[in-house]
């Protein structure tokens, strides 16, 4: 208990080092500047300089102490820490010496200036990384082995159409570089963790592994990102640039897809709208299962072109199914040209589960023949006649057929008995007779027929007043 | 600020068109430069040079996996708070308690409105009207609703609705927007935003208010307002007067060609403005002008009932030939739904019966009963009841005790939020009765349905996970159900 408290205290003091360090630098530089000014102006500032040097030395001492504690956390490159530490302590001793040794001050101050610059330089390397003052000009990324492999691969597969993807190289590493490297790379290993190469990511930090392949929630690399920002374990720490939700999601998908560091053949799936799996995860409602009567390939590029054309013609397209492989087409906005538009659907026919084609009197129903997965067909108020019903033979999955307001008669009705899956049939406002419906019902007893033969019983409009008082 | 948040439901929305049409990336990103969608796309497009197809594919993959049962909604809002005692919630035991004071064990110290809180006694009053059971589900319906009774098998009567509000304005606002205070988007606006419009020539959200109702409690256009959603999603009110939509027609002597040309130039100006500001409201303005232009032809067409046969008018009842009545509005609602309008909202006021309830409720029922039942029948025979959700109900119920003095010729009932009846019919709804109230229809005994739950269920029927239809405004994410609501499985077929 006592030791952890002590550790926490020393960590706290250590963190003050970057803050404190600027006081002695400023004060001592001030003293040095006054000393040089005294030489040229022939005025006597020595008492002021003494005070400045004393204050500066005290702060330098405190800073050294804090720096020692900070270095003991072990997050820093040992070699540079060594130089920084001893040049810092030398600065402190030299400053204190010059307080007492007034006569040698001009010489001591020269050395002190050099020491301050040197210590500052090493400190900057520790904080900002090697080559920090040249950084904007030079991209310090090392060419990685997988980059070389990629170059080789490109030559190898030339002529083949195979595509390789590099999720780590292209998507994950850039995120880590911009959001994590500042604390977790060669210069600064907070928590003993480096994230700048495959080896270190797999190795983890002081507190254990950060990557559990295939399990993002157990990987601190992901899990710490989705903690609330106020949480101590949340990464990046408050105040640092945070990852965007898309970046978080990418890392999640990368880990769950097995955290591949090299090339993969399958492209990593990233859906721009699918933000549900990340920090704002909400439970999915799946009360009504998606109807999936048959497996069918999702749409390909050429098929999307067809759908685009249909949309241009103001046909409303609504997708369904787990892979959105099904569509329902609604021609509600279409005023003319039903037939040519219907002809355009040829290549996507098997994907169509629902068709709404109302209010057309020039329709060619033979175009409906091969919609083999069609489940709902609405032909209300069209020029359908008995002969056209034969075109429905190929509609093996048809469950619901709306023929209200058409010219179908009992003859056509009998042909509908062949549609094996038909469950609901709408026949209001047609030339079908009651006996025809009854005959169909005999053949298909389970078929629900809505003939619209409904009239209200007139209501008794004279309601008696019945309030009885006790 | 941006309008493209995690809205998974908008594939049919015009904003997705650039994406659909071979991905005019620059245009698309410009348009959505402030939205999250854009950022996501940027990552995608920047990361890989993928073909248009797979991006579309991915957007599709992210769509909800709830199969929608309902494609459109017609909401018959009975404004004022219809009494459940005289309509659907049959309480035969009350007959024996006529005039007795309401037991404290039932009221449990519930706060009453200022209108009856000071009454010395709260005398129990049974319904003056008889009930019978109808249809296969043996649904109890009062004799005041003889036509509704004839379609009882289509109805799912929820007897255990409850709300948090005891007065009209906050209660209606709560029902229409999911929040008691004004300013949130109405249900229809959420649907317009989330699902877009199938019909490109009519607004997705249309409102009609009965002219033949007693206007005892006011309605206000914010009830069909868009709140913080882009303004093209607000409800458009169709009126019974010569101009169904105000300011839609061209001024005299100004022909359509000129109008078209003017709008083209105006659009260019607006787009120039939009390039600078990327304000969604500019886009909304452009699309509203265009919609209004298309409505110049589509509205007169859909409002014209002259081609409807007599049989239809007979079905909807005597009022249906008189423009602006509830019956005529029901007929129009059917026509609009036939055109695939997403959300049609009818309001019928006059249900606020604090006194003379027996007399007044007869009028209300006569004005609405037949047309309501006719709407269900008419949708059914056209094959539309399968995918249209019909909703009937008010903002709260009424008390078991009489407000004011109980006399031989009448009684009144005060507002009661703790339980009331409403019904749903059509797409994906399980017919029958749901929930139970106690003998006084004062407290709910079984299966309570909160307003938020009702909203969640309604969205579910439309294929929307109510927790995912979200809009971010003023730094916070909003839903129709806000942070509440659960889908009531017992209402689903």
Which pair of tokens denotes residue B490? 């017992």
The residue among B379 and B26 whose pLDDT is bigger is B379
pLDDT at A311 over 80: yes
> Please, are residues B492 and B461 in contact by the beta-carbon 8 Å criterion?
yes
The CA distance from A167 to the nearest CA of chain B, in Å, is 9
Q: Do A402 and B489 touch (CB under 8 A)?
A: no
Cβ contacts of A316 on chain B, cutoff 8 Å = 12, 198, 340
- Cα separation, A217 vs A168, in Å, equals 19
Q: What is the pLDDT of residue B438?
A: 94
Q: Considering the domain boundaries, does residue A286 fall inside one?
A: no
Q: Considering the domain boundaries, does residue B277 fall inside one?
A: no
Length of chain B: 493
Strands A400-402 and A424-426: parallel
Ranges A33-42, B61-70, B100-109: which has the least confidence: B61-70
Q: Which of A467, A468, A469 to mutate to test the interface with B (most CBs of B within 10 A)?
A: A467
**C-alpha distances in Å from residue A290, one per residue of A191, A322, B65, B173, B428:** 47, 7, 6, 34, 14
Same domain, B32 and B109: no
- Cα separation, B214 vs B203, in Å, equals 28
Same domain, B184 and B302: yes
Q: Provide the sign of the torsion angle of the four alpha carbons B298, B303, B306, B311, taken in this order.
A: positive
Q: Considering the domain boundaries, does residue A173 fall inside one?
A: yes
Residue A462: pLDDT band (50, 70, 90) is: low
Same domain, A72 and A153: no
Same domain, B87 and B19: no
Task: Count other C-beta atoms under 10 Å from residue A174's C-beta.
Answer: 15
Same domain, B187 and B299: yes
Cβ contacts of B294 on chain A, cutoff 8 Å = none
Q: Considering only CA atoms, which of A401, A354, A395 is closest in space to residue A382?
A: A401
Q: What is the pLDDT of residue B88?
A: 96
Q: What is the pLDDT of residue A261?
A: 84
Same domain, A311 and A218: no
Three-class SS of residue A317? strand
Q: Considering the domain boundaries, does residue B259 fall inside one?
A: no
Q: What is the pLDDT of residue A158?
A: 46
- With CA atoms as reference, the chain A residue closest to B42 would be A272
Percent of residues, chain B, with pLDDT higher than 90: 64
Q: Do A301 and B99 touch (CB under 8 A)?
A: no
The residue among A170 and A38 whose pLDDT is bigger is A38
Buried b (16+ CB within 10 A) or exposed e, B180-194: beeebbbbbbbbbbb
Cβ contacts of B17 on chain A, cutoff 8 Å = 311
Segment B67-75 shows an average pLDDT of 91
The CA distance from A328 to the nearest CA of chain B, in Å, is 12
Query: What confidence tens digit (pLDDT) does each residue in A199-236 have?
Result: 888 888 888 888 888 888 888 888 888 888 778 888 88
Same domain, A223 and A250: yes
Q: Considering the domain boundaries, does residue B304 fall inside one?
A: yes
The CA distance from A452 to the nearest CA of chain B, in Å, is 5
Same domain, A424 and A331: yes
- Cα separation, A65 vs A291, in Å, equals 70
Same domain, B217 and B108: yes
Same domain, A6 and A98: yes
Q: Do B198 and A332 touch (CB under 8 A)?
A: yes
Residue A80: pLDDT band (50, 70, 90) is: confident
The CA distance from B338 to the nearest CA of chain A, in Å, is 9
Residue A279: pLDDT band (50, 70, 90) is: very low
Q: What is the pLDDT of residue B216?
A: 83
Ranges A161-170, B185-194, B450-459: which has the least confidence: A161-170
Q: Which of B48, B65, B381 sits opposite A404 (nearest CB)?
A: B381
Same domain, A182 and A201: yes
Q: Which of A272, A318, A459 sits opposite B40 (nearest CB)?
A: A272
| Last residue in a domain, options A88, A103, A134 | A134
The pTM is what? 0.67
What lies within 8 Å, CB to CB, of B393 at 6+ separation is B76, B77, B78, B82, B161, B420, B421, B422, B423
Q: Considering the domain boundaries, does residue A283 fall inside one?
A: no
Cβ contacts of B61 on chain A, cutoff 8 Å = 269, 271, 274, 323-324
Q: Provide the sign of the torsion angle of the four alpha carbons A443, A444, A445, A448, taken in this order.
A: negative
Length of chain A: 470
- Cα separation, A188 vs A206, in Å, equals 13
Size of interface A-B (CB pairs under 8 A): 190
- The conformational region for residue A83 under phi > 0 = left, psi -120 to 50 = alpha, else beta, is alpha
User: Total domain count for chain A?
Assistant: 3
Segment A377-389 shows an average pLDDT of 92
- With CA atoms as reference, the chain B residue closest to A452 would be B381
Q: Which of A269, A283, A324 sits opposite B60 (nearest CB)?
A: A324
Q: Considering only CA atoms, which of B238, B243, B203 is closest in space to residue B339?
A: B203
Q: What is the pLDDT of residue A460?
A: 66
User: Total domain count for chain B?
Assistant: 2
Q: What is the pLDDT of residue A295?
A: 67
> Please, are residues B187 and B177 in contact by the beta-carbon 8 Å criterion?
yes
Same domain, B417 and B309: yes
What CATH code is carried by the domain that includes residue B373? Answer: 3.40.720
* Alpha-carbon A44 to chain mean position: 67
> Please, are residues B198 and A332 in contact by the beta-carbon 8 Å criterion?
yes
Segment B328-334 shows an average pLDDT of 96
pLDDT at A267 over 90: no
| Last residue in a domain, options A99, A134, A169 | A134
Segment A76-82 shows an average pLDDT of 82
Q: What is the pLDDT of residue A235?
A: 87
Q: Which of B199, B315, B362 sits opposite A333 (nearest CB)?
A: B199
Q: What is the DSSP letter of A237?
A: P
Owning domain of residue B383: 72-245+290-491
Q: Which of A289, A308, A324 sits opposite B21 (nearest CB)?
A: A308
| Last residue in a domain, options A134, A169, A201 | A134
Q: What is the pLDDT of residue A163?
A: 60
Segment A400-419 shows an average pLDDT of 91
| Last residue in a domain, options B61, B83, B98 | B61
ω before A38 within 30° of 0 (cis)?
Answer: no
Which pair of tokens denotes residue B181? 């205070």
Same domain, B224 and B166: yes
- Cα separation, B463 vs B65, in Å, equals 8
Same domain, B30 and B109: no
Owning domain of residue A37: 2-134
Query: What confidence tens digit (pLDDT) does each residue in B472-487 have?
Result: 888 888 999 999 999 9
The CA distance from A422 to the nearest CA of chain B, in Å, is 14
- Cα separation, B182 vs B193, in Å, equals 19
Residue A25: pLDDT band (50, 70, 90) is: very high
pLDDT at B228 over 90: yes
Q: Which of A311, A320, A459 sits opposite B147 (nearest CB)?
A: A459
Residue A336: pLDDT band (50, 70, 90) is: confident
The residue among A186 and B338 whose pLDDT is bigger is B338
Strands A400-402 and A376-378: parallel
Query: What confidence tens digit (pLDDT) does each residue in B137-177 have?
Result: 999 999 999 999 999 999 999 999 999 999 999 999 999 99
Q: Considering only CA atoms, which of A183, A222, A190 is closest in space to residue A206?
A: A190
Q: Considering the domain boundaries, does residue A341 fall inside one?
A: yes
Three-class SS of residue A149? helix
> Please, are residues A320 and A345 in contact by the beta-carbon 8 Å criterion?
no
| ipTM for the predicted complex | 0.81
pLDDT at B50 over 50: no
Same domain, B309 and B432: yes
Q: Considering the domain boundaries, does residue B34 fall inside one?
A: yes
Q: What is the pLDDT of residue B54?
A: 39
DSSP conformation letters of B33-51:
TTSHHHHHHHHHHHH----
pLDDT at A285 over 50: no
> Please, are residues B175 and B160 in contact by the beta-carbon 8 Å criterion?
no
Q: What is the pLDDT of residue B339?
A: 94
Q: Do A332 and B382 touch (CB under 8 A)?
A: no
Same domain, A11 and A84: yes
Q: Do A314 and B66 touch (CB under 8 A)?
A: no
- Cα separation, B444 vs B435, in Å, equals 8
Q: Provide the sign of the torsion angle of the four alpha carbons B241, B245, B251, B255, taken in this order.
A: negative
Q: What is the pLDDT of residue B20?
A: 42
Same domain, B18 and B147: no
Q: Do B315 and A456 touch (CB under 8 A)?
A: yes
Three-class SS of residue B421? strand
Same domain, A218 and A311: no
Same domain, B51 and B165: no
Strands B155-162 and B432-434: parallel
Q: Which of B57, B72, B375 to mutate to test the interface with A (most CBs of A within 10 A)?
A: B57
The CA-CA-CA angle for residues A408, A411, A416, to 5°, reads 75
User: What's chain B's Rg over C-alpha atoms?
Assistant: 24
Query: What confidence tens digit (pLDDT) does each residue in B271-319 have?
Result: 888 777 777 788 888 888 989 999 998 999 999 999 999 999 999 998 9
Residue B488: pLDDT band (50, 70, 90) is: very high
Residue matched to tokens 């007034």: A102
Ranges A12-16, A190-194, B18-22, B450-454: which has the least confidence: B18-22
The CA distance from B7 to the nearest CA of chain A, in Å, is 7
> Please, are residues A92 and A65 in contact by the beta-carbon 8 Å criterion?
no
What CATH code is carried by the domain that includes residue A375? Answer: 3.80.10.10
DSSP conformation letters of A349-392:
GGGEEEEE--SBSS--GGGGTT-TT--EEE-TTB---GGGGGGG
Q: What is the pLDDT of residue A117?
A: 92
Query: What confidence tens digit (pLDDT) does each residue in B21-45 have?
Result: 433 444 444 444 333 333 344 334 3
Q: What is the mean pLDDT of chain B?
A: 86
pLDDT at B406 over 70: yes
Q: Considering the domain boundaries, does residue B257 fall inside one?
A: no
Q: Which of B7, B59, B99 sits opposite A470 (nearest CB)?
A: B99
Q: Considering the domain boundaries, does residue A296 fall inside one?
A: no
End-to-end CA distance of chain B: 39
Q: Do A282 and B380 touch (CB under 8 A)?
A: no
Q: What is the pLDDT of residue A272?
A: 33
Q: Considering the domain boundaries, does residue B205 fall inside one?
A: yes
Q: Do A465 and B377 touch (CB under 8 A)?
A: no
Q: What is the pLDDT of residue B93?
A: 93
> Please, are residues B331 and B316 in contact by the beta-carbon 8 Å criterion?
yes
Q: Considering the domain boundaries, does residue A274 fall inside one?
A: no
Which pair of tokens denotes residue B433? 């009765």
Q: Do A460 and B146 touch (CB under 8 A)?
A: yes
Same domain, B149 and B222: yes
Q: What is the pLDDT of residue B407?
A: 78
Same domain, A114 and A197: no
Q: Considering the domain boundaries, does residue A278 fall inside one?
A: no
């Amino acid at each position: 208990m006592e030791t952890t408290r002590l550790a926490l205290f020393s960590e706290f003091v250590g963190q003050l080092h970057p803050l404190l360090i600027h006081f002695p630098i400023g004060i001592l530089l001030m003293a040095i500047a006054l000393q040089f000014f005294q030489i040229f102006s022939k005025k006597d500032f020595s008492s002021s300089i003494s005070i400045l040097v004393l204050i500066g030395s005290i702060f330098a001492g405190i800073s050294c102490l804090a720096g020692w504690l900070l270095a003991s956390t072990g997050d820093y490159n040992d070699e540079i820490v060594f130089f920084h530490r001893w040049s810092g302590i030398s600065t402190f001793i030299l400053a204190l010496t010059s307080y007492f040794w007034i006569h040698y001050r001009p010489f001591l101050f020269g050395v002190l200036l050099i020491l301050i610059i040197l210590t500052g330089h090493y400190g900057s390397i520790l904080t900002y990384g090697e080559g920090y003052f040249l950084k904007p000009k030079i991209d310090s990324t090392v060419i990685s082995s997988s980059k070389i492999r990629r170059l080789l691969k490109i030559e190898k597969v030339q002529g083949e159409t195979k595509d390789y993807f590099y999720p780590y190289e292209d998507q994950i590493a850039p995120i880590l570089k911009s959001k994590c490297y500042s604390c977790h790379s060669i210069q600064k290993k907070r928590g003993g963790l480096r994230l700048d190469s495959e080896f270190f990511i797999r190795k983890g930090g002081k507190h254990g592994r950060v990557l559990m392949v295939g399990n993002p929630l157990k990987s601190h690399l992901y899990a710490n990102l989705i903690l609330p920002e106020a949480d101590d374990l949340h990464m990046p720490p408050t105040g640092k640039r945070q990852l965007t939700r898309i970046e978080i999601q990418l890392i999640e998908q990368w880990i769950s897809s097995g955290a591949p560091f090299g090339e993969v053949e399958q492209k990593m799936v990233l859906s721009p709208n699918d933000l549900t799996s990340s920090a704002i995860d909400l439970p999915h409602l799946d009360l009504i299962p998606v109807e999936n009567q048959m497996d069918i390939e999702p749409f390909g590029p050429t098929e999307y072109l067809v759908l685009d054309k249909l949309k241009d013609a103001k046909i409303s397209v609504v997708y369904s199914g787990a892979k959105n492989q099904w569509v329902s087409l609604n021609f509600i906005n279409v005023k003319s040209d039903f037939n040519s538009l219907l002809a355009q659907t040829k290549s996507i026919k098997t994907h169509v589960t629902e068709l709404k084609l109302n209010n057309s009197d020039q329709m060619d129903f033979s175009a409906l023949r091969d919609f083999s997965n069609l489940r709902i067909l609405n032909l209300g108020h069209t020029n359908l006649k008995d002969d056209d019903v034969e075109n429905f033979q190929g509609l093996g999955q048809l469950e619901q057929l709306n023929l209200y307001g058409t010219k179908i008669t009992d003859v056509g009705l009998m042909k509908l008995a062949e549609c094996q899956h038909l469950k609901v049939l709408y026949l209001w406002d047609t030339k079908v007779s009651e006996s025809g419906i009854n005959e169909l019902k005999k053949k298909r007893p389970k078929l629900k027929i809505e003939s619209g033969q409904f009239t209200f019983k007139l209501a008794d409009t004279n309601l008696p007043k019945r309030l009885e008082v006790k | 600020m941006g309008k493209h948040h995690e809205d998974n439901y908008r594939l049919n929305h015009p904003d997705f068109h650039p994406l659909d049409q071979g991905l005019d990336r620059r245009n698309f990103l410009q348009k959505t430069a402030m939205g999250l969608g854009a950022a996501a796309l940027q990552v995608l497009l920047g990361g890989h040079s993928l073909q248009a197809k797979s991006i579309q594919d991915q957007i599709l993959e992210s769509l909800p996996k709830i199969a929608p049962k309902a494609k459109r909604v017609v909401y018959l809002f009975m404004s004022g708070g219809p009494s459940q005692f005289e309509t659907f919630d049959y309480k035969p035991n009350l007959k024996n308690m006529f005039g007795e004071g309401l037991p404290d064990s039932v009221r449990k110290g519930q706060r009453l409105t200022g209108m009856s809180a000071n009454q010395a006694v709260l005398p129990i009053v049974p319904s003056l009207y008889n009930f019978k059971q109808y249809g296969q589900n043996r649904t109890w319906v009062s004799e005041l609703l003889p036509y509704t009774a004839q379609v009882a098998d289509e109805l799912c009567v929820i007897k255990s609705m409850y709300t948090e509000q005891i007065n009209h304005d906050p209660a209606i606002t709560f029902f229409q927007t999911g929040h008691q205070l004004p300013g949130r988007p109405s249900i229809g606006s959420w649907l317009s935003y989330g699902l877009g419009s199938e019909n490109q020539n009519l607004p997705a959200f249309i409102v009609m208010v009965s002219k033949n109702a007693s206007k005892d409690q006011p309605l206000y256009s914010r009830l069909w307002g868009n709140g913080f959603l882009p303004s093209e999603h607000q409800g458009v009110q169709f009126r019974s007067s010569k101009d169904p939509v105000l300011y839609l027609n061209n001024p005299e002597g100004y022909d359509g060609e000129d109008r078209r040309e003017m709008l083209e130039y105006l659009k260019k100006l607006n787009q120039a403005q939009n390039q600078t500001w990327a304000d969604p409201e500019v886009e909304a303005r452009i699309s509203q002008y265009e919609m209004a232009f298309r409505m110049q032809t589509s509205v007169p067409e859909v409002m014209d009932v002259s081609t409807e046969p007599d049989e239809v008018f007979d079905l909807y009842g005597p009022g249906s030939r008189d423009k602006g009545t509830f019956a005529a509005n029901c007929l129009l609602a059917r026509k609009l739904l036939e055109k695939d309008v997403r959300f049609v909202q009818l309001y019928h006021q006059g249900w606020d019966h604090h006194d003379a309830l027996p007399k007044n409720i007869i009028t209300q029922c006569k004005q609405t009963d037949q047309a309501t039942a006719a709407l269900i029948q008419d949708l059914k025979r056209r094959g539309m009841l399968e995918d249209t959700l019909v909703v009937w109900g008010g903002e709260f119920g009424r008390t078991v005790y009489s407000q004011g003095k109980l006399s031989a010729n009448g009684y009144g009932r005060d507002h009661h939020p703790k339980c009331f009846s409403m019904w749903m019919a059509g797409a994906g709804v399980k017919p029958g009765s749901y929930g139970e109230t106690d003998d006084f229809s004062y407290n709910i005994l079984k299966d309570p349905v909160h307003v938020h739950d009702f909203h969640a269920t309604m969205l579910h029927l439309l294929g929307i996970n109510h927790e995912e239809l979200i809009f971010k405004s003023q730094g916070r994410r909003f839903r129709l159900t806000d942070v509440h609501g659960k889908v009531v499985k017992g209402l689903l077929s």
